[in-house]
Chains A and B, each alone.
Chain A
Amino acid sequence: MRSRRNQAPRIALLAAALAIFLVPLVWTGLAALGLQPDSTTRPPSWIGPLTLDHFLEIGVAEPSFMQELVTSTLSAACAATLAVAVAFLAAYALARSASGASRAAAQGFLVLASLPVMAYVIPLSDLMRRTHLLDTFGGVVLSEAAVTAPLAVFVLHGALAQLPTEWEEAAVLDGAGLAAIVGRVVLPLAAPSLAATAIVLFVIDWNMLLVPLVLTSGDIKTIPVALSDFFTFERELEWPTAAAALIVSLAPVAVLVTVFHGVLDRFSLDVATAA
């Protein structure tokens, strides 16, 4: 009863928060559709007409934009999958170790997860050049996976430490080996946490600039690199075209998060458990 009566002020506050957080993006969306404000009239007015032409102009300003979308999707998907897979195995080993040591190790991984890429990307680019991984898809994927794996270890450690161990013990009594236990017992139980972590890592990889910027000279180009190129090469882009590119770059992750919103709670809860 109480919460229902209190809904109105809370909805008002939420609406205010929503306006602050979303008006800039709505503004961008309208510009992408050709609807722009004219601030010179009093009061300011809107000029149209509505059009989808600006989305086509992206391909003119950046001919390989479709290719870059594909590269971004593939590299983020591969990096997120690799990081989660590798982190899952390590986090399981941590979660089944002595609790004091395992907690301290997990906290160490959180510190590592907080380390900015800039701290080591300069020597990394040199190392990649010397091992002929510069400008390769594999080099970008492995580097992005290494950036995000520590966070995945921290989160998955929280998730796995919470799992009941009875199933694993029963499997041991049945004579199951390590691979069978991890693959057939732990993996299905941890699947929601793995999926949630993979989605968050995909978003982080999708938006990552520094790794693809420094480790490639244009052959393996992702969307953030393309967006920064729009400006750094002094070709000041028209705002509606830039707006359309922004909307296109945001849409895939927005759809991903909307479709999987149910499982994403798991990520926050696992972080809380790990903390």
Chain B
Amino acid sequence: MRLTRRDRLVLFSPLAVLLGGWLLLPALLGFMATFSTYSPFSTTLNFAGLDNYASVVSDPQFAAAARNLAIFTAVAVPLELVVGFGVAYILRLPVRGRTLWRILLLVPWLVSPIASGVMWHFLLGGATGILDFVLGWLGQPEAPSPMGDPRLALPTAIAVEVWRISPFVTFLLLPSLASIPTERWEDAILSGATWFGRLMNVALPSVRPLLLTITMLLVGLAFGTFDSVLILTGGGPGTATLTPALYSYSRAFVANDWPVGATAGWLIAAGVLAAGLVYLWLARQRAAE
């Protein structure tokens, strides 16, 4: 149906009010505040130029958080994609009890990040956890929680996040993989394609746009990593698992250094928007093909 200008206006305005008032306006006000000394707790307001950015960037804590985030994103996102795709690839063919498999394999995504942090906090540390139980069976002495070890804390936080997010990737990929026409698999088998060849030439091309979309969402999730490490490690030990989001939150609401917190928040936004530009460029490349 052909919509008039007025129709479009009517249909768009509720969304415009919601996003304008509760997302774009705060984001814009926050952006402007990063160039000032604005704080809800202070009565003076001065132009600060790039001072806030200078203090965030020169803060060794933020540098550590940025480094952790780079590692977190570079490791967690590909792992989530590979594990999620792998499970969906196995589940794509009819198997006995497939509905039940699918529901059960989605459950970790239903666990909130905060609950996942609480759970793994106990499972990896403490006498009642899985780690000590397994070590006990292997005849090994009890081990301290890997979250307390500066070298193991970040890999552990990544593993916990992969455990929680991969099922969502499987959930998103499965219907598309399952709906690839049987003939395309059979043609590939008849033409002598190996298991790997079928994966590369049949499965991947049919979900490539979807993988790009999922990657964008996963990068955004990784950049916002906050509640999944809040209880698990609290950012520690030291700054081993500190993320920019944790840094931003603790600056604004714990240290009451509002401008620095808001500025760090904007740097997270800038990172995601940069990733968004890459996504839009890649999506356009594909459309042009």
Contacts and interface: CB of A to CB of B under 8 A. Distances in A.
A24 B133 contact: no
B15 A86 contact: yes
A266 to B, nearest CB: 9
Given A24-B119, A116-B223, A214-B253, A275 B93 contact: no
Interface stretch (A35-43, A52-60, A62-70, A187-195): A35-43
Nearest to B91: A14
A86 B104 contact: no
Contact of B128 (A18, A31, A114): A31
A15 to B, nearest CB: 9
Interface in B146-203: 163, 166-167, 171-176, 179
A82 B21 CA distance: 14
Nearest to B23: A146
Contacts of A90: 11-12, 14-15
A120 B213 contact: no
A145 B258 CA distance: 25
Interface residues of A, number: 108
A50 interface: no
B217 interface: yes
Interface string A110-134: 1111111111111110110100000
Given A22-B104, A122-B30, A224-B227, A37 B128 contact: yes
A257 interface: yes
Interface in B35-93: 40, 87, 90-91, 93
Nearest to B252: A122
Chain A facing B: main interface SS: helix
Contacts of A92: 11
B210 A224 contact: no
A246 interface: yes
Interface string B253-289: 1000010011001101100110110011001000100
B126 interface: yes
Nearest to A30: B128
Interface string A70-93: 000000000000110111011011
B114 A224 contact: yes
A17 B122 CA distance: 22
Contact of B1 (A23, A27, A181): A181
Contacts of A261: 99, 102-103
Contact of B107 (A242, A254, A271): A254
Nearest to B109: A203
B136 A39 contact: yes
Nearest to A274: B213
B237 interface: no
A14 B101 contact: yes
Nearest to A247: B115
A21 B265 contact: no
B99 to A, nearest CB: 6
Contacts of A10: 90, 93, 95
A198 interface: no
Interface string B201-230: 000000101101110110111011011001
A249 interface: yes
B90 A111 contact: no
Interface of A: 3, 6-7, 10-11, 13-14, 17-18, 20-25, 27-28, 31, 36-44, 82-83, 85-87, 89-90, 92-93, 96-97, 103-104, 107-108, 110-124, 126-127, 129, 142-143, 145-147, 149-151, 153, 165, 168-169, 171-172, 178, 181-182, 203, 206-207, 209-210, 214, 223-224, 227-228, 230-231, 239, 242-243, 246, 249-250, 253-254, 257-258, 261, 264-265, 268-269, 271-272, 274-275
10 contacts: A6-B93, A17-B87, A39-B128, A44-B133, A93-B7, A111-B272, A116-B220, A119-B269, A224-B112, A250-B110
7 shortest interchain CB distances as A-B pairs = A116-B224, A114-B220, A123-B30, A111-B276, A207-B112, A146-B22, A119-B269
Interface of B: 1-3, 7-8, 10-12, 14-15, 18-19, 21-23, 25-27, 29-30, 33, 40, 87, 90-91, 93-96, 99, 101-115, 118-120, 122-123, 126-130, 132-133, 135-137, 139, 142, 163, 166-167, 171-176, 179, 207, 209-210, 212-214, 216-217, 219-221, 223-224, 226-227, 230-231, 244-245, 248-249, 252-253, 258, 261-262, 265-266, 268-269, 272-273, 275-276, 279-280, 283, 287
Given A21-B166, A24-B119, 7 more contacts: A22-B107, A39-B127, A93-B7, A123-B30, A146-B21, A169-B1, A268-B173
